[in-house]
Amino acid sequence: MTLQALLVVAAALFAIGLYGAISQQSFVMLMMGLELMINGALLALIALWALSSGGNPQGQMLAIVFMAVMAIEMALGFALITNVYRVRRADITEKLRRLKG
C-alpha cells in the first residue's frame, strides 16, 4: 500500500472515532470512539515509520508497546465506568451532574 492510502484510512478511522466520541452519550460508546481515534493515530504513526525507515523494527516495537498501553487504559476506563454505574446507577454521561461525592 502507498503512504497516502494508509494515511487516508488512518484519517477515516480518526474521524469515525471523533464522531462516535462526540455524538454518543453512553460511556461504552464514548470509550469505543476514543479507541478508534487512538487506533487511527497509531496507524498513521506506523505507516510513516515503516515507509520512511525502510522497515526498521523499532517502529514495530513502539506500536506493540503503544497497543499494550491502550489495552491497560481501556481496562481502567471500563473499571471506572463499572464503578460509576454501581455507585450512581448512571449509564449515560448526562446522568452525572458532578463527579465528586
Q: Are 92 and 30 in contact (CB under 8 A)?
A: no
Which pLDDT value is given to residue 55?
A: 65
Question: What's the distance, Cα to Cα, between the start and end of the chain in Å?
Answer: 52
Domain ranges of the chain: 3-95
Most confident of 36-45, 62-71, 81-90: 36-45
Q: What is the mean pLDDT of residues 50-60?
A: 73
| pTM for the model | 0.75
**Mind spelling out the 3-state secondary structure of 75-87?**
HHHHHHHHHHHHH
Q: Cell numbers at residue 65, please?
A: 508497546
* Percent above pLDDT 90 for the chain: 21
Q: Are 84 and 90 in contact (CB under 8 A)?
A: yes
The domain defined by 3-95 folds into Helix Hairpins (1.10.287)
Among 43, 42, 19, 39, which residue's Cα sits nearest to residue 29? Answer: 19
